[in-house]
């Protein structure tokens, strides 16, 4: 069946809530769930599989990806061989590469990852502008109110933003809060692990050019010789969105039109010194900065001026979801600054500053992502990456791996209305943009994506999505960027709120185990608190997290500062001579 023959897919739920897993028969965590009886890609006819979902290797070989905002990817030489393989061959490849890790010391790992991150920031020349500063008490208090409003919204009791009241350390908090320690969200792996992949991103990792993203299984009954390798990790890793000109010719057409003069935005700004950071932000003569400030008008709260620049923390005091009420515009490589300026909110995302790992601890929840370094609040952490497809193509298993990028009801009314009012583009190009926004566009990461496809759900997530545009304002020019809503501690799980439309939550309940979880053991207590009382709980919780982080950092510095830190992450893996090998000749591809 071709794409043109697929039926239209529509839903009754509000579109901003359609984030993931809309099927009624999906599992508890669709991001990680793979049906045991799913049809094997390798068993299908190659031509049929190619028509159903283009393989990344074919897209790259035929130069079918017309994404206008591509970033350079430094991949291992084995990557191009790997992406040409079928799913069964990829399972064999990764199974062979799996190893048993012994004597894992997590505190030493977190110390080394922090040092490596600092060295990477210096190597990128960002030590003078990107500072790992911790939140002040005023910032913690403000973010506590933000989280409290999110919690009330999850409880079905949304409230508008209100004036903050002073925090009193002596104020009595609910007794049930003592059951929820910050250590509950810090994952400490066992000393013996099974490493399923040294680096799932296949990065080259030459001289701090990137971090490895290892993949582990920590299930106690699993070893390298009885490893059950799931099919859902056999995807093609990429940090670039896919805009396939064969699957989406309309998107390819708008990308080509946007490359014409007058249909895109770029600035002539130059850095003051060679290799320095250009001052585009707050420069009244910079067209990109003007577009960035223009997008503030999407927010109906007049005193809420969210700042999207390269290095300052993002702050907004909004009770509604930020996705359609906030947005930014960033400089790009076609600008005079080359995107190396202070008006590029994608700078830290593209630089891949923060190290992470992916692991699996239980059968119920599946794979999760944890940070192995400290991440300041209000920082762009990663991009949600996938293939841009219309909603009619998002069906079956792809529903569990998709995020909505554009909205056919909201965007024409507000975004395109703002562009028309400000006369940003010629009327002919605006007409083409209106045509492309007549349908919803999704990011499908079923077959190609990055580490964001493993993010877990949480009622009060520490990551939240916003859209950042570059060059122009078509769906192909938008990136879904995940910002940290709070300070994320080393070892903490990275989470994202899937939205109320996620069917898995209704069937088995949320598993985030936060004190503000709507399905938690004490939901009846916390759901009846006012926004001020909930904010007090979040403030106390964050203060305790920061105290524990500072104590651990001090202790680790005293204990491990005298040791040299390796250039890249390494594990203690014993040599096992009896491990079977798989022949990797070209005939087996």
Q: What is the DSSP string of 335-370?
A: STTTT-BSS-TTHHHHHT-S-EEEEE--TTT-EEEE
Helices and strands per DSSP (H, E), number in the chain:
14, 16
Element (H, E) at 371: strand 367-371
Q: Please write down the HEC assignment for all residues of 190-202.
A: CCCEEEEECCCCC
From residue 363, alpha-carbon distances to 22, 292, 483 in Å are: 22, 44, 29
From residue 347, alpha-carbon distances to 69, 71, 134, 338 in Å are: 13, 11, 20, 11
What's the full length of the chain, in residues?
Answer: 589
Element (H, E) at 389: strand 387-390
Residue 73 tokens, joined: 């990817």
CB 267 within 8 A of CB 336: yes
DSSP 170: T
Residues 360, 272: Cα–Cα separation, whole Å: 48
| DSSP β-bridge partners for residue 41 | none
Q: By three-state DSSP, how is residue 517 classified?
A: coil
CB 19 within 8 A of CB 404: yes
Q: Cα-flanking dihedrals φ and ψ of residue 474, to 5°?
A: -80, 165
Q: What is the number of other CB atoms lying within 10 angstroms of the CB of residue 409?
A: 13
482 burial level (CB within 10 Å; 0-12, 13-18, 19+): buried
Residues 412, 419: Cα–Cα separation, whole Å: 10
Element (H, E) at 433: helix 427-436
Q: By three-state DSSP, how is residue 587 classified?
A: helix
Residue 262's pLDDT is: 93
How does pLDDT run across 556-577, given as a tens digit for each residue?
A: 999 999 988 888 888 887 765 4
In the predicted model, what is the mean pLDDT of residues 463-478? 95
Residue 175 tokens, joined: 């007794």
Q: By three-state DSSP, how is residue 579 classified?
A: coil
Residue 285's pLDDT is: 93
Residue 490's pLDDT is: 96
Q: Are strands 215-217 and 193-197 parallel, antiparallel or unpaired?
A: antiparallel
Burial 154-189 (b: 16+ CB within 10 A, else e): bbeeeeebeeeeebeeeeeebebbeebebeebbbeb
How does pLDDT run across 151-188, given as a tens digit for each residue?
A: 988 888 888 878 889 988 888 899 999 888 888 889 99
Radius of gyration of the chain (CA): 24
pLDDT band for position 513 (50/70/90)? confident
Q: By three-state DSSP, how is residue 131 classified?
A: coil
Whether residue 548 is predicted with pLDDT greater than 60 in this model: the reply is yes
Q: By three-state DSSP, how is residue 469 classified?
A: strand
CB 333 within 8 A of CB 266: no
Query: Distance between alpha carbon 529 and the CA centroid of its chain, in Å?
Result: 31
Residues 466, 296: Cα–Cα separation, whole Å: 13
What mean pLDDT value characterizes the chain? Answer: 82
How does pLDDT run across 414-441, given as a tens digit for each residue?
A: 999 999 999 999 999 999 999 999 999 9
Q: Which residue ranges form the domains of the chain, and what is each CATH number?
A: 52-577 (2.170.270.10)
How does pLDDT run across 63-88, given as a tens digit for each residue?
A: 999 999 988 888 888 888 888 888 88
Residues 441, 406: Cα–Cα separation, whole Å: 5
pLDDT band for position 318 (50/70/90)? low
Q: Give the global pTM.
A: 0.87
Residue 34's pLDDT is: 28
In the predicted model, what is the mean pLDDT of residues 539-565? 93
Residues 96, 98: Cα–Cα separation, whole Å: 6
CB 474 within 8 A of CB 254: yes
Residue 264 tokens, joined: 């895109």
Q: Going edge to edge, which strands form the sheet with 387-390? A: 387-390, 441-444, 402-404
Instruction: Identify the residue whose tokens are 């599992």.
Output: 27
Most confident of 364-368, 387-391, 555-559, 584-588: 555-559
Helix axes 410-422, 427-436, angle to 10 degrees: 170
Q: Going edge to edge, which strands form the sheet with 215-217? A: 99-101, 193-197, 215-217, 356-360, 367-371
Whether residue 25 is predicted with pLDDT greater than 80 in this model: the reply is no
Residue 194 tokens, joined: 């099974």
CA angle 85–88–94, rounded 5-degree value: 80
Query: Distance between alpha carbon 436 and the CA centroid of its chain, in Å?
Result: 25
How does pLDDT run across 99-123, given as a tens digit for each residue?
A: 899 899 999 999 999 999 998 888 8
Residue 415 tokens, joined: 């975004």
CB 406 within 8 A of CB 463: no
Q: Cα-flanking dihedrals φ and ψ of residue 41, to 5°?
A: -60, -35
């Amino acid at each position: 069946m071709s794409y043109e023959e697929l039926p239209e897919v529509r839903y009754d739920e509000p579109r901003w809530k359609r984030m993931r897993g809309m099927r009624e028969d999906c599992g508890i965590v669709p991001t990680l769930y793979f049906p045991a009886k799913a049809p094997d890609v390798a068993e299908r006819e190659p031509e049929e599989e190619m028509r159903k979902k283009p393989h990344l290797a074919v897209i790259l070989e035929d130069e079918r990806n017309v994404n206008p905002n591509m970033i350079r990817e430094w991949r291992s030489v084995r990557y191009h061989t790997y992406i040409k393989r079928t799913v069964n061959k990829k399972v064999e490849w990764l199974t062979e590469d799996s190893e048993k890790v012994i004597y894992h010391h997590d505190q030493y790992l977190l110390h080394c990852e922090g040092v490596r991150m600092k060295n990477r920031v210096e190597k990128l020349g960002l030590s003078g502008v990107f500072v790992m500063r911790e939140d002040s008490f005023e910032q913690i208090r403000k973010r506590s109110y933000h989280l409290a409003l999110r919690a009330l919204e999850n409880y079905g009791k949304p409230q508008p933003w209100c004036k903050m009241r002073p925090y009193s350390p002596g104020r009595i908090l609910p007794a049930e809060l003592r059951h929820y320690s910050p250590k509950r969200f810090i994952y400490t792996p066992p000393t013996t692990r099974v490493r399923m992949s040294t680096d799932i991103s296949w990065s080259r990792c030459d001289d701090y050019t990137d971090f490895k993203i290892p993949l582990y299984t920590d299930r106690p009954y699993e070893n390298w010789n009885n490893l059950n390798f799931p099919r859902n990790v056999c995807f093609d890793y990429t940090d670039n969105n896919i805009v396939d000109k064969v699957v989406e010719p309309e998107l390819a057409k708008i990308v080509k039109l946007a490359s014409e003069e007058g249909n895109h935005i770029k600035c002539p700004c130059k850095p003051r010194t060679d290799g320095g950071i250009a001052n585009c932000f707050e420069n009244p003569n910079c067209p990109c900065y003007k577009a960035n400030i223009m997008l503030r008008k999407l927010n109906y709260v007049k005193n809420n001026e969210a700042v999207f620049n390269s290095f300052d923390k993002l702050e907004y005091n909004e009770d509604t979801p930020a996705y359609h009420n906030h947005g930014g515009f960033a400089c790009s490589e076609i600008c005079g600054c080359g995107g190396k300026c202070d008006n590029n909110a994608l700078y830290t995302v593209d630089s891949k500053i923060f190290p992470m790992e992916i692991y699996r601890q239980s059968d119920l929840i599946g794979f999760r992502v944890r940070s192995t370094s400290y991440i300041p609040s209000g920082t762009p952490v990663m991009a949600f990456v996938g293939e841009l497809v219309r909603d009619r193509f998002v069906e079956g298993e792809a529903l569990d791996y998709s995020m909505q990028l554009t909205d056919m009801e909201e965007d024409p009314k507000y975004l395109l209305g703002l562009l028309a009012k400000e006369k940003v583009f010629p009327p002919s190009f605006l007409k083409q943009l209106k045509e492309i926004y007549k349908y919803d566009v999704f990011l499908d990461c079923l077959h190609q994506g990055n580490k964001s496809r493993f993010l877990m759900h949480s009622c009060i997530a520490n990551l939240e999505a916003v859209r950042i545009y570059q060059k122009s304002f078509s769906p192909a020019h938008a990136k879904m960027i995940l910002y940290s809503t709070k300070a994320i501690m080393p070892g903490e799980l990275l989470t994202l709120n899937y939205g109320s439309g996620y069917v898995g939550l209704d069937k088995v309940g949320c598993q985030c185990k936060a004190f503000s979880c709507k399905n938690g053991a004490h939901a009846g207590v916390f759901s009846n608190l006012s926004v001020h009382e909930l904010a007090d709980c979040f403030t106390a919780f964050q203060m305790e997290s920061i105290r524990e982080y500072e104590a651990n950092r001090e202790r680790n510095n005293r204990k491990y500062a005298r040791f040299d830190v390796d250039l890249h992450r390494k594990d203690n893996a014993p040599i096992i001579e009896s491990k079977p090998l798989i022949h990797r000749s070209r005939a087996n591809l």
